[in-house]
Structure 1
Amino acid sequence: MTQQHPVDEDAQRTARRASIRNLLDRAGRGILIASTEGELLRQQVEAEIRLSDQATKQCEDLRAESLRRGKENLAKAERIRELEKQLEAYQGADAYRQAETERDGAYRERARLVALIAGGLAEQAVIAAAPDVDEPGWQILYVTLHGRQCSWHISPRDADLFEHLEHVPAVDPRAQWDGHTTEAKYEHIDYLARALGTPGPFKEH
């Protein structure tokens, strides 16, 4: 079937509507319409009704299509938001893992220095299980530095640095905290570092 050009369809529609107006105008003025003209009027009105029905159907189809696409776009927007949330979570997890890695690296470095102190500078060094930590594997290192006790909690992942030291039960007298604070411990270590690095005889503080 040959499809009519839109311009031809518009011209036919314009002519048909002009014919309908003309016939209705004549009928409105009391002029009798011949049977052939009446049949023509009926055909033209039916054609207009069909066009109207087609236009209505097209509008309904377009409305349904628009609604469907709107739902699809809404679903896509929701999916994008979900992916963005997942990405934020992944980025947050990556940042957390990075922070954990940096923290563990800092603790490892601290543990190496503490192991050096225990093995090379301390008059006494023992290591025992940590009774104040619920997580298994934690230990406490007790060292005596120039007559004073210093202690550190040792993570299970750093235990290999202290395998060569004397391991004692937590009830051993040498593994009892004397009440020193973290501040006092590092003040003593700072003093020792300065005193050992200063030429001349060692000075008490």
Structure 2
Amino acid sequence: MTRWQQHADAYEQQCKSLERERAHLLAWLAVLHPATSVLAGCSTGEDGRHVLHMVAGGRQMSWLVAPRDIHLFRHTHRVETLEPMNTRARADDSETEAKYTHLRRHTRLLALEEGVATVVEELRRRT
């Protein structure tokens, strides 16, 4: 039992470490997208968590931010809760995998890995 508890504790520490690193990267992204980034109180009552919303590459995306990491987002516009009329803070209406796919495409476009024409053609075929 002790051995399993040690594994569970180590796993929990690793998860917290990864969540913290993720929060630092999200704070950095929010600085790069100040016109579209907003930190909103979470309406689901998830233990003080907030939701970071931003638009990148023409798509709105969002991520949960733990209460201990809120201080990293001092530079980000804040709202108490999400309001339907607030275009800077609307909930994701697509799946997480779609967000990841968009991020991969947008990254390729920005890095010009395959040339702009190739990426633009791929985006046209998917719409």
TM-score range, shorter chain: 0.7 to 0.9
Partner of 2:14: 102
CA distance in 2, matches of 1:97, 1:118: 31
Partner of 1:127: 39
Shift in CA distance, 122/146, structure 1 to aligned 2, threshold 3 Å: farther
CA distance in 2, matches of 1:103, 1:155: 12
Q: Count residues in correspondence.
A: 116
* Displacement of 1:108: 1.3
Partner of 1:177: 91
SS at match of 1:167: strand
Q: Which runs of 5+ in 1 are unaligned?
A: 1-87
1:1-205 → structure 2 map (5 Å cutoff): 88=1, 90-121=2-33, 123-135=35-47, 137-172=48-83, 173=86, 174-198=88-112, 204=120, 205=123
CA distance in 1, matches of 2:116, 2:33: 17
Q: In angstroms, what is the RMSD of aligned CA positions?
A: 2.1
Letter in 1 for 2:76: L
Letter in 2 for 1:142: H
Partner of 1:17: none
Q: From the two aligned structures, give the one with the greater strand fraction.
A: 2
Aligned 8 A contact 1:149 1:180 in 2:
no
Query: Normalising to structure 2: TM-score of the pair?
Result: 0.79
Moved over 6 A (4+): none
Aligned 8 A contact 1:123 1:146 in 2:
no
* Displacement of 1:133: 3.4
CA distance in 1, matches of 2:67, 2:95: 23
**Higher RCO (CA 8 Å, separation ≥ 6 residues):** 2
CA distance in 2, matches of 1:171, 1:121: 19
SS at match of 1:175: coil
Letter in 1 for 2:93: G
Query: Normalising to structure 1: TM-score of the pair?
Result: 0.51
Shift in CA distance, 110/95, structure 1 to aligned 2, threshold 3 Å: same
* C-alpha distance after superposition, 1:60-98 (max 9, x if no partner): xxxxxxxxxxxxxxxxxxxxxxxxxxxx3x332222111
Letter in 2 for 1:99: Y
Shift in CA distance, 171/198, structure 1 to aligned 2, threshold 3 Å: closer
Q: From the two aligned structures, give the one with the greater helix fraction.
A: 1
* Displacement of 1:177: 0.8
